[in-house]
Amino acid sequence: MTDIAIRNALILDGSGGEGFEADIGISDGMIETIGVVGASQTEINGAGMCLAPGLIDTHAHDDGAFLRHPDMTFKLSQGVTTVVSGNCGFSAVPFDPSADPRTASGGILSGLKGGFTDLSGYFDAVLEAKPAINNMMLVGHNTVRSLAVSDQKRTPSVSEMQKMQGYVERALEQGACGFSTGLIYHPGRYSQTEEIIQLASLAGSAGALYTTHMRNEGDRLLEAVEEALQIGDEAQVHTHISHHKAAGAANWGKVTSSLARIDRAIAAGQAVSMDVYPYTAGSGRMIEYFNLDRINRDLAEVIRIASCPAFRAYEGRMLKDIAAEQQRDITELTLEILTAPRGENTICIQFIIDEADVETNLRWPEMMIGSDGIPDLRGQPHPRLYGTFAKILGHYVRQRALLSLPEAIRRMTSLPAATFGMHQRGMIRTGFHADLVLFNPTTIADTATYDAPQTLAEGIDTVIVNGQLAFHNGHHHMAGSGQMLRYRETAHGKPRS
């Protein structure tokens, strides 16, 4: 007998083609039947709804969240069944128990005792916690550089370079889908292009990816795109540009030139892909965006505090409002926050992007969706953590009609699955893993706002992860059926294919 049957839904199989009617039968974690399904243990009526492959978040910082919040409600409740973690150069592995985890992982592991050192060990630790969804990992440059060179502004020595190469190779061998950089962050910003080419070429030889938060996304966006393309070309590696944007009002509109340059590279035969988050604000560790000797007033003006251990009362408020209330200079307030005890753990939200650019990005035919959500749940996180995927389907597909529903599903399923090497996922096909989302296309919507960011999407009926009922009728089933994925391979802990 079949484990689960989903009947009467319109199937959007992830290919981008029009939907069709069929019943889906699931057994032993896999899609067994598409068409006519006999008796089953669990029956789900999908009438009036769409069934799609589970959505894939190509840009996550969930490395630590898998241990801290294994229920992963903020992703599962949007229909996300797989994330790519280890982005922007920060990854949970390699982990060195003697190093400061905050520096090495960019805060991803702060407060957590690892108990692991490499990717296999991390996967074991996460599986032990019974994660709700699947995870694919990148190995991050900032992490390996801080372990090999520490936070120093210089070129690595030969032996330090070998140490970094060893870390990257080991992670790739154990199933990482690539090497990530965050070249605006510490210590990655101290690296020359040549260092990145050498490390990215290891991903190239493995047939894996180079993903990058580029060196500049504002005044020097186009120069940074040139560097990313040069790295991809010289390292012979598929280059994935993360959260493509033009930051700062003076740069709005530059995404058009940037996309045109990338189109030219692709036309010339280079492998380049991209993702975007559907919001006009970014978010990250506030201290990374400021020079403490010369606080940037314009930036401070557009910042809202997400989480701030030193001043919890500031969470959810704009710096300019706090400064006005306290009748003081905004740069002085910024400096006080950043230099307070644990001030470096402050997460901010910065309103630096133009909505027109978000739409330009979404119109690019192969644009994928990455939330870039930062799962620090103690404060008022950026709403993208809970809202990204429902916002694409509700706002950009249904209300703005920027892309069709089957096409949006393709961009969030088969396209990322193929790009990031997720074995037998991202499509509704017999013999594929049963990662599925059943949703109502007429009601799906994000509800998370900057004022109330931790609210669940509407219109998600059922989410199935590896054949287990994970989320149904607004209830989290704590199935704990997520797997740790290895690039183009069976999942960690499963027999090699």
Chain positions contacting Cu ion, by CB under 5 A: 87-88, 372
Nearest to Zn ion of 25, 370 (CB atom): 370
Number of residues that bind Zn ion (CB under 5 A): 2
How far lies 354's CA from each of 127, 249, 254, 378, in Å?
A: 40, 7, 10, 28
Stretch that binds Zn ion, among 206-214, 260-268, 344-352, 473-481 (CB under 5 A): 206-214
State the sign of the Cα–Cα–Cα–Cα dihedral 322, 330, 311, 218: positive
Distance in Å, CB of 56 to Cu ion, minimum: 16
Nearest to Zn ion of 120, 212 (CB atom): 212
Distance in Å, CB of 213 to Cu ion, minimum: 6
Stretch that binds Zn ion, among 212-220, 360-368, 419-427, 440-448 (CB under 5 A): 212-220
195 interacts with, out of Zn ion, Cu ion, none, CB within 5 to 8 A per kind: none
Among the listed residues 267, 196, 209, the one whose alpha carbon sits nearest the alpha carbon of residue 238? 209
Phi, psi of 278, rounded to the nearest 5 degrees: -90, 55
Nearest to Cu ion of 54, 89 (CB atom): 89
Distance in Å, CB of 349 to Zn ion, minimum: 14
Stretch that binds Zn ion, among 209-217, 260-268, 323-331, 407-415 (CB under 5 A): 209-217
Distance in Å, CB of 274 to Zn ion, minimum: 13
- Distance, in Å, from the CA atom of 82 to the CA atom of 338, rounded to the nearest integer, reads 34
How far lies 44's CA from each of 23, 427, 464, in Å?
A: 10, 20, 11
Under the binding rule (CB under 5 A), the answer on residue 428 touching Zn ion is: no
Distance in Å, CB of 182 to Zn ion, minimum: 6
- Distance, in Å, from the CA atom of 12 to the CA atom of 20, rounded to the nearest integer, reads 7
Distance in Å, CB of 156 to Cu ion, minimum: 23
Nearest to Zn ion of 201, 212 (CB atom): 212
Nearest to Zn ion of 211, 413 (CB atom): 211
Under the binding rule (CB under 5 A), the answer on residue 274 touching Zn ion is: no
Nearest to Cu ion of 374, 392 (CB atom): 374
Distance in Å, CB of 332 to Cu ion, minimum: 29
- Distance, in Å, from the CA atom of 30 to the CA atom of 43, rounded to the nearest integer, reads 16
Among the listed residues 137, 131, 60, the one whose alpha carbon sits nearest the alpha carbon of residue 94? 137
Nearest to Zn ion of 34, 287 (CB atom): 287
Nearest to Zn ion of 217, 315 (CB atom): 217
183 interacts with, out of Zn ion, Cu ion, none, CB within 5 to 8 A per kind: none
Distance in Å, CB of 285 to Cu ion, minimum: 11
Nearest to Zn ion of 163, 213 (CB atom): 213
300 interacts with, out of Cu ion, Zn ion, none, CB within 5 to 8 A per kind: none
CA 54 distance to own-chain centroid: 15
Q: Which residue lies nearest Cu ion, judged by its C-beta?
A: 88
492 interacts with, out of Zn ion, Cu ion, none, CB within 5 to 8 A per kind: none
433 interacts with, out of Cu ion, Zn ion, none, CB within 5 to 8 A per kind: none
Under the binding rule (CB under 5 A), the answer on residue 213 touching Zn ion is: yes
65 interacts with, out of Cu ion, Zn ion, none, CB within 5 to 8 A per kind: none
| 493 torsion bin: left (phi>0), alpha (psi -120 to 50), beta (else) | left
Stretch that binds Zn ion, among 60-68, 99-107, 205-213, 429-437 (CB under 5 A): 205-213
Among the listed residues 231, 234, 221, the one whose alpha carbon sits nearest the alpha carbon of residue 260? 221
Distance in Å, CB of 243 to Zn ion, minimum: 6
Distance in Å, CB of 59 to Cu ion, minimum: 6
Distance in Å, CB of 141 to Zn ion, minimum: 12
Nearest to Cu ion of 371, 413 (CB atom): 371
477 interacts with, out of Zn ion, Cu ion, none, CB within 5 to 8 A per kind: none
- Site residues for Zn ion, 55-114, by CB under 5 A, read 88
Nearest to Zn ion of 88, 196 (CB atom): 88
Which positions touch Zn ion (CB under 5 A)?
88, 213
